[in-house]
A and B are shown apart, each in its own frame.
Chain A
Amino acid sequence: MSDSLEQDKNLLDKAAVLEGLPEHPALKAILAWSPDALTDAKFDRGELTLTIAEGEIRAALQTVNAAGYNFFEDMTAVDWFPSTPRFQLSYHILSHSFKERIRLRVLLQDAEPVVDSITSVWAGANYYEREVFDLFGIRFEGHPNLRRILMPDEWVGHPLRKDFPVEGYR
């Protein structure tokens, strides 16, 4: 499989990825599960990014987990303020057997979004979701303990949002 993943080959839209990486295990698993949930795909700089429809992310992560992407490595958000959809969540999932990493991405339409928690798939996502909640204000449905983790409990606002003031008194 690693032969097909050349670093210099860039596939920048869904059709090109589907054509260029037909044997990719994560892509195959997602397509077998629900082709509609895959809204976009990109293979850029040696990294595969699969964009998943909002609301399907937990099932999608369950699917790639079953397909051999067994290790939740990282998860975070990006705030694209003022454009819409405003928030993007990026999940980096590693496979110990394929020795490869994929990125699952979900774009959140809502201004105050609520997403399914994936702590039932990987318990290790607990702190990461708390961090995203704390710093971006994205809520995770089904999280066992969704509280601020880095900022003080009484803090107002979510500092990593782009519209959070970076100077002046609060």
Chain B
Amino acid sequence: MAETLYTPIVGAPIAEGASDQHMVLNMGPQHPATHGVLRLVLEVDGEIVVRLYPEIGYLHTGIEKTCEAKFYQQVVPMTDRVNYLDPLSNNLCYALAVEKLLGLEIPAKGQWFRVLLAELSRLNSHLIWLGTHAMDIGALTVFLYTFREREEILRLFEALAGQRMMTSYIRIGGVSMDPPLDFMARVQAFILTMPEKIDQYSNLLTGNPIFRNRLKNVGFLSAADAIALSVTGPPLRASGVDFDLRRDMPYSSYEKFQFNVPVSNDCDCWARYEVRLIEMRESVKIIQQALDGMPEGLYSAVAPKIVLPDREKMKTQMEALIHHFKIVTEGFAVPAGEVYQGIEAGHGTTGYYVVSDGTAKPYRVHMRYPSFATLQSLETMCKGRMLADVVAVIGSIDIVLGEIDR
């Protein structure tokens, strides 16, 4: 009977093993707890998950193929759309990869500013995770609070880039324009209140017995499994592996910042909750350091053939107008070669593999996104557990379907 219920996908491996006692259950793609269009095919014995098979690709737009037809600078807006919850980290990763190909050095101030933006973006991503994760578990209130702060971050992004989610603000060679004059003061005002707000979330959730019981000892993922399945970011650190690219392989001046990397040996959903909560506090600390110690200088590199000129200069100087025209119509040639740049984004390790053949368009852009690899660990975490735990586990690994399907 199970097999007849499950005809739409021909040859899905899960239908083969379904016996008469087991039921095949379809969860998603339109399911509020799957955080997008994730479809899970579950083989259940009563309420126990026997097997789990993720079906992905519903959001596949062929972004990597599209990138091959664009100039290098035109790829930046594509990167926002891959992970729409952490846009500036994507911009940063792509920009760093192309700058590595070009051998372009960014001024210290630009690097520090990028750190500030990446951490704001991480806060944004973690706030959405916390709100939706708690909502999946049934704690609806937290969502309203986290979105209050997220709104504030989006207003900051809007002040910077004119766009709330698809910022495209970090460009190759620097940033698209200098931030507004009151921007740093606004960030300062925002992060001064943030630790208190994180205490609020913690007050609502940490002591909440329902939340605690739904997460404790659920979704166990051992360190060995996490490494074997290429899990990165907070889920990896919650499995007891002390590795963070920001500290261990620093990029964009992260080596100049003091912060702790939270690690937990509990390996369950609760550990992932705690790790992310501490990460948010650490992000606030990093932003404070970036504000306090931001060096003097320019935000963008002085590279007229790569960085678009100032609007003002473009209208008053012949040279700048020519460079602007050249960049927009012809792009800029990037020396042949291949680079891989990995950064620690909100969800884990984001990596861009860019191959250049010496022309103004990338020959190949491959995007390594954390959710794609982390999704593989879902079956390990859910096997033999209750069906309701699947929802808690999906929330705890914090997947974004945009970056899985690309």
The interface of chain A, by Cβ under 8 A from chain B, is 44-47, 49, 70-74, 76, 78-79, 90, 92, 94, 96, 99-101, 103, 122-128, 135, 145, 147-153, 159-160, 164, 166
Contacts and interface: CB of A to CB of B under 8 A. Distances in A.
Contact of B340 (A47, A122, A126, A148): A47
Contacts of B229: 122-124
Nearest to A96: B243
Interface of B: 9-11, 13, 56-57, 60, 62, 64-65, 69, 100-101, 103, 227-232, 241, 243, 248-249, 337-340, 342, 349, 351, 353, 355, 363-364, 366, 368, 372-373, 375-376, 405-406
30 contacts: A45-B101, A45-B103, A45-B339, A46-B100, A47-B340, A71-B227, A72-B230, A73-B232, A73-B342, A74-B340, A78-B355, A92-B340, A96-B227, A96-B248, A101-B340, A101-B342, A103-B338, A122-B229, A123-B376, A124-B376, A127-B376, A135-B64, A147-B11, A149-B57, A150-B406, A151-B57, A153-B10, A159-B62, A159-B65, A160-B65
B336 to A, nearest CB: 10
A45 B243 contact: no
Contacts of B375: 127
A9 B248 CA distance: 21
A73 B351 contact: yes
A163 B59 CA distance: 23
A159 B66 CA distance: 11
The B interface is mostly helix, strand or loop, or mixed, namely: mixed
Contact of B364 (A74, A78, A103, A149): A78
A74 B369 CA distance: 9
Contacts of A78: 338, 355, 363-364
Nearest to A105: B338
A2 to B, nearest CB: 10
Given A73-B342, A74-B351, A74-B353, A96 B69 contact: no
Contacts of B231: 124
Given A76-B353, A159-B65, A70 B227 contact: yes
A82 to B, nearest CB: 13
A92 B337 contact: no
Contact of A166 (B65, B227, B368): B65
B376 A92 contact: no
B351 A150 contact: no
